[in-house]
Amino acid sequence: MRDLIFKFGTEQVSIKVNFKQLQFCKLEGGFYKYAPIDGLRLSTSGIIKEFPDLKNKSDKAIRRIAIQRFKDHVKELNTEQEVEDYLKEDLKKHGYKLVFRKRPGFRKQKVK
């Protein structure tokens, strides 16, 4: 299990990777409330940009299919390190920068 902390502008987002289970959290004032991907707000235009074949579907169907594709892709990855690398590369495209990595029993490490 590991936590990845990304920065986007002034906002920080944490992703808890527990093998193939991911939980997401927006860091605000020391409060950590993790939620599965189903609890995230997703931009319909962003989903269509990533998956152009979903353009003619309803908003709910677009969201449901995109989440399922993401979950299926994460299930295909073998290790937590592969999941971490995938998240790092995918979020980098959208302007997120990995700043800290935290493993249980260790202090968080700044990523260069």
CA 46 to chain centre: 14
In tens, the pLDDT along 23-59 reads 999 888 777 788 898 888 888 888 898 889 998 899 8
In tens, the pLDDT along 67-91 reads 999 999 999 999 999 999 999 998 8
Query: Hey, where are the domains in the chain?
Result: 2-110
Token pair 């979903």 in the structure block, residue: 54
Please name the helix (run of DSSP H) or strand (run of DSSP E) that holds residue 42, with its range, or none.
Answer: none
> Residue 29 contacts by C-beta under 8 Å, 6 or more apart in sequence?
none
Q: What is the pLDDT of residue 66?
A: 92
Q: What is the pLDDT of residue 93?
A: 87
Q: What is the pLDDT of residue 16?
A: 93
